[in-house]
Structure 1
Amino acid sequence: MDADENALARQYDVALFDLDGVIYSGDEPVGHAAASLEAALEAGMRAAYVTNNASRTPAEVVEKLAAVGVQAKAEEIITSAQVAAEILRDRLEPGALVLIVGDRGLRDAVAAVGLRITDKAADKPAAVVQGFSRKIGWAQLSEATVAARAGALWIATNLDSTIPSARGILPGNGAMIDVVATALGRRPDAVAGKPDRTMQTASVKRTQAHRPLVIGDRLDTDIEGANRSDCDSLLVMTGVTTPAGLLEATEELRPTYIGADLRDLLKPGRGVPRSNADGWTIGCWQASSDGQIRQTAAKSGDQDPLDYLRIACAISWSGGQPQPADDAASAESRSLSLN
């Protein structure tokens, strides 16, 4: 597997990879991810792995990546737990007490910046930091609620409402944040992870990237975070974003490029086509200014299978309604569950 001479892997110096839904889904590898990533690195691109999942330590992330065929180093891992710990370090007195609602990755990150840890609101912590863990239940959420109500600074590692898995979409840290927020009647004081600029700034600084490319599967974290930080982005359709959801994306959620999976790193980037006097054209598809999409040439094996989605997005994002105007367009629209 080789990169095209005009491939994204040759145009950008650092790839900031999301993990869940991009490289793996739960414990399963995402198709073509490991081989494509290896080819991108061989083409000269550097990699960093930027995850909102605060439950794992960098060493554990390295192990998980190795299990799906990706070789990485701990210093290439950037977690929302690390960024949350840095926020706490900057806002609290040295050695301050922090109530942890989360897993080992979060506990280790907070301890690493010289703060003390508790899991009891009765200890009167100066702050609460809440991250994803499969072990969280009512008792832990209640401790966070009591501490935050008493005046503790409340930091969320991230607000992802769901996570992808081999069993389908499951509740994420954002869903647990909502439980505490409902009880308190307010939102967290700060959020460390994507789409907040803090995470993106830390990633660019750590990697010393000159032209980073953010790669993710979520519009409201990966892509919005890239847009907030003026970075280009590649959305891969291997995680939580559906074609119908992409059509409805508001301006701050729209990616620079749209790809089926990480193989798109090895090709020239393809985003939505720009309009011309007659409408839009991309690949074998043409759309009139009123949104009627037609096939203009027989579809060949080397044409991009997502071109129909890209032209439909171009229409939708300009305020129109994509409408299949021939049998080929209708079949393509159905295959993407757009009608």
Structure 2
Amino acid sequence: MTPSLLDSYDGVLFDLDGVLYAGPHAIPGAAHAVEQLVSRGVPRGYVTNNASRSAEQVATHLNELGIPALTHEVFGSAPAGIALLSAALDPGASVLVTGSRYLRTLVQDAGFSIAESAADHPAAVIQGFDPTLGWADLAEAAYAVNNGAQWFATNLDLSIPRERGIAPGNGALVEAVGRATGKTPTAAGKPEPVMFTQAADSLKMQRPLVIGDRLDTDVLGGNRAGFDTALVLTGIDTAAAAEQAQDSMRPDWILAELRQLFDGSHRALQEPAGT
């Protein structure tokens, strides 16, 4: 019998967009793959750069798609962004939120006051993905940063898979503010390794496999965390891109789809460390 890829790992850390779903719909075969993990008793976690929804909302969405998920298994970039704010700012400092209601709530819950515009002279701007953001929101962020506010971003994904195709992600909106300010934000989320190591520690995984669809966030972040990585070809990046990537963004494995976790048809791009 051909060995399963999972034989070498004690858990799986999934990206979401482009791996388990695209927009409101599950990627074909994703729910069945996660159900198989559950039936085999394999721990799993969900590590996402989407800062527009809470862990509870993400878990609810996954379950609605037939993908088993519990709130404590979800790790997002919005709380990681709040951790950056808390480390950099005094308690009660004023923050301009360029992002979702969820991100705004997290900022308030962390003890910061909310600035409604750059005219309030915020100490910082935090920018996270929200599909309703417009030019006026980005302009306020730019005004504040140009006036001296510290600038933070929950993540820097340039694009995001949606039901109708690939759309601009938070990183593209961050770039717009960057062009207007000449500044670069301090970023949380992938490819920083912290969310991966936090997830592995929380879920008691010693040797997890990180699965994502992006080389510059999922694979790079997993590699930086010291974990083996797999690129699944249902989202952003291609096998050709992986083969041409610099070492830091090369995955250990290529999966055409998630069923290859189980049937032995996975392909090694480079031999995982220690094998």
TM-score normalised by the chain length of structure 2: 0.92
The whole-number CA distance in structure 1 between the counterparts of 2:78 and 2:270 is 38
The whole-number CA distance in structure 2 between the counterparts of 1:38 and 1:108 is 33
Q: Secondary structure at the match of 2:162?
A: coil
Structure-2 residue corresponding to 1:132: 129
Q: Secondary structure at the match of 1:169?
A: strand
The whole-number CA distance in structure 1 between the counterparts of 2:240 and 2:4 is 27
Relative contact order (C-alpha < 8 Å, sep 6+): which is higher? 2
Name the amino acid aligned to 2:116. D
* Structure 1: segments with no counterpart, 5+ residues: 275-339
**Of 248, 251, 264, which aligns to 2:247?**
251
Larger radius of gyration between Structure 1 and Structure 2: 1
Structure-2 residue corresponding to 1:166: 163
TM-score normalised by the chain length of structure 1: 0.75
Tell me if 1:149 matches 2:146: yes
Q: Secondary structure at the match of 1:63?
A: helix
* 1:16-65 deviations in Å (ceiling 9; x for gaps): 11000000011111011011111112222111111001011112111211
Runs of 4+ in 1 over 4 A off after TM superposition: none
**Of 189, 192, 204, which aligns to 2:188?**
192
- The answer on whether the counterparts of 1:40 and 1:266 sit within 8 Å (CA) in structure 2 is no
- Calculate the aligned-residue CA RMSD, in Å: 1.8
Structure-2 residue corresponding to 1:228: 224
- The answer on whether the counterparts of 1:162 and 1:171 sit within 8 Å (CA) in structure 2 is yes
Name the amino acid aligned to 1:253. M
1:101 CA displacement = 0.5
**Of 35, 58, 61, which aligns to 1:61?**
58
Residues 259/155 of structure 1: CA separation in 2 closer, same or farther (3 Å cut): same
1:10 CA displacement = 3.8
Percent of aligned positions that are identical:
45
Residues 60/270 of structure 1: CA separation in 2 closer, same or farther (3 Å cut): same
Structure-2 residue corresponding to 1:120: 117
The whole-number CA distance in structure 1 between the counterparts of 2:269 and 2:206 is 25
Name the amino acid aligned to 2:96. L
The whole-number CA distance in structure 2 between the counterparts of 1:10 and 1:126 is 49
The whole-number CA distance in structure 1 between the counterparts of 2:130 and 2:100 is 5
Residues 10/118 of structure 1: CA separation in 2 closer, same or farther (3 Å cut): farther
* 1:130-177 deviations in Å (ceiling 9; x for gaps): 011111111111111111122211111111111111211111011100
Tell me if 1:84 matches 2:81: yes
The whole-number CA distance in structure 2 between the counterparts of 1:95 and 1:248 is 47
Residues 84/110 of structure 1: CA separation in 2 closer, same or farther (3 Å cut): same
Q: Secondary structure at the match of 2:165?
A: coil
1:206 CA displacement = 2.8
* Structure 2: segments with no counterpart, 5+ residues: none
